[in-house]
Amino acid sequence: MAYSYKTSIAFGLVYIPVTLHNTIKNNDIGFNMLDRKTKSRVQYKKTCVDCKDRVIKQEDIVKGFQISEDKYITFEDSELEKLKTKKDKSVVIDKFVSLNEINPIYFDKTYFVVPEKKDSEKAFCLLKEVLNKEKKVGIAKSMLGSSECVVALWVKDDDLLLSRLFFNEEVQSNPASSIKAKINSKELELAKNIIKAMEGKFDPSEYVDEYNARVKQAIKDKANGKEIKAIDQEKPIKITDLMDALQQTLKEKKSARIVKIKKAE
């Protein structure tokens, strides 16, 4: 598996060269953009306002920051590279915290951590084992690619993982946080019973991308000259009274649970 980033992990004087590998693969269906009339591929040319339709080569492109109208400060990649420190290029653990201290909203993207060299495997295994036994997460700040981020090192199912975290200033406040409503005891009890009737274990294999599968089937059907038909769906029942909705939901979920138990027997 090709790695996404090459870096190192350090805690105290322990130094571990590692590579970071994607945990998720992209299953998106790759559609090409076509002209509706000619059915030929749409092309995107890199040009500029004053280029008179001249195509710009990648090596002729620089980063620019606008400071006023039609005025930019430009940066070469080499100049931005000078702003990075050795610490920025490594994952130097700053502290160890409990996983439940981190609000899941801060998690961005997660990678598998793999030791790069044979002689660093023992230190890698030690870090993984101590994080697992102590139920701790290593927190650091590092550069991944061209951007700085907070990272969390943690263990799940014997895998050492590194997760990019959002900075605090990137996380927006919840627009619904000020909404309050008085809930009576009967409504709360009914809601609790619904949860009990719907309890279960989380099994990721139970959830598949059905829309993706339908699109793939539609591709085959259209290739064979078949017409695409809309999916038949039951119209949702709308109940405006909260108590009625809770009572009807509980009745349906209890019935569904009984059927499921009988099928399992």
- pLDDT at site 1: 66
Alpha carbon distance 150, 223 (integer Å) = 47
**Does position 232 have pLDDT exceeding 90, yes or no?**
no
Q: What is the mean pLDDT of residues 131-147?
A: 92
Closest CA to 199 of 140, 261, 246, 150: 261
> Do 116 and 21 contact (CB within 8 A), yes or no?
no
pTM of the model: 0.81
Q: Where in the chain is the domain with CATH 2.40.290.10?
A: 5-27+83-170
- pLDDT at site 167: 95
**Does position 205 have pLDDT exceeding 80, yes or no?**
yes
Q: What is the pLDDT of residues 76-131, one digit of tens each?
A: 988 888 887 766 678 999 999 999 999 999 999 999 999 998 999 999 999 999 99
- pLDDT at site 134: 96
Q: Kindly report the average pLDDT of the chain as a whole number.
A: 91
**Does position 258 have pLDDT exceeding 80, yes or no?**
no
Alpha carbon distance 159, 241 (integer Å) = 48
> Do 245 and 190 contact (CB within 8 A), yes or no?
no
Alpha carbon distance 79, 82 (integer Å) = 5
- pLDDT category, 265, cuts 50, 70, 90? low
Question: What fold is seen in the domain 5-27+83-170?
Answer: Ku70; Chain: A; Domain 2 (2.40.290)
Residue type, position 20, single letter: L
- 87 HSE (CA, 13 A, CB side): 8
Instruction: Choose between 83 and 17: higher pLDDT.
Output: 17
